Amino acid sequence: LEPPVCLQGRRFGAAVVEREMKSRTRPRLLQLEGAEGPRRYLLKREDLSLESATMRILCELNRQLEAHGLNFAGHPVRARTYTILPVGVAAGLVEFVPGAVTLGKLKRESKASGQDPQQRVLDHLRQSQSDIDNTSESLGECLNRLVASTVAYLVTNFVLG
């Protein structure tokens, strides 16, 4: 990293590779140090231009859904978005989302512990929301929040064809 580097209007002066992830493409988790504090990104060695365009569409869809006040059981219909920065056609940075876990990982954990896979997913939903806002949601509220975000992704798929 040639200091300073500017990404999304933020200036970063140093980068630290925290670890290499174990997924198929072996992305690296980076911590970029800047005046506003550290930011974490995954460095992926692949073209992320399509993913970046898709994320911009999700952001616009979220704005439209919010403008129309669409919600499900009191939860805004909204897709979870994050920053994707293509760096040419061979690499890009993806904002690291703390606490994000794949369904595959939850399934493996449930199998290893003997826990019902559906229960493992529900436990994760409850825990992740608690970590975000320090509240304890009922099972029904966790499911309503999941439905609201799923609706946003379904609408996106419909719009994109």
pLDDT tens for 60-110 read: 999 999 999 999 999 999 998 999 999 889 999 999 988 788 888 899 999
Beta pairing class for 5-7 and 10-20? antiparallel
pLDDT reported for residue 110: 92
Cα-to-chain-centroid distance, residue 101:
9
Structure tokens at 41: 């990104």
Average pLDDT over residues 140-151: 88
Sheet holding 39-44, edge to edge: 5-7, 10-20, 28-34, 39-44, 92-95, 84-86
Question: For the segment 29-38, what is each residue's pLDDT rounded down to a tens digit?
Answer: 999 988 888 9
113: CB partners within 8 A, 6+ apart: 120
Higher pLDDT: 92 or 23? It is 92
84 in Cβ contact with 55 (< 8 Å) = yes
Q: Up-side HSE of residue 85: CA atoms within 13 Å toward CB?
A: 14
Question: For the segment 117-128, what is each residue's pLDDT rounded down to a tens digit?
Answer: 888 888 887 777
30 in Cβ contact with 17 (< 8 Å) = yes
Q: What residues does 75 pair with on adjacent strands?
A: 72
Average pLDDT, whole number, for the chain? Answer: 87
What percent of the chain has pLDDT above 70?
A: 93
Q: Where does the pLDDT of residue 2 fall: very low under 50, low under 70, confident under 90, or very high at 90 and above?
A: low
DSSP code at position 89: S
Average pLDDT over residues 136-149: 82
pLDDT reported for residue 100: 82
Q: Where does the pLDDT of residue 129 fall: very low under 50, low under 70, confident under 90, or very high at 90 and above?
A: low
pLDDT at 148 over 90: yes
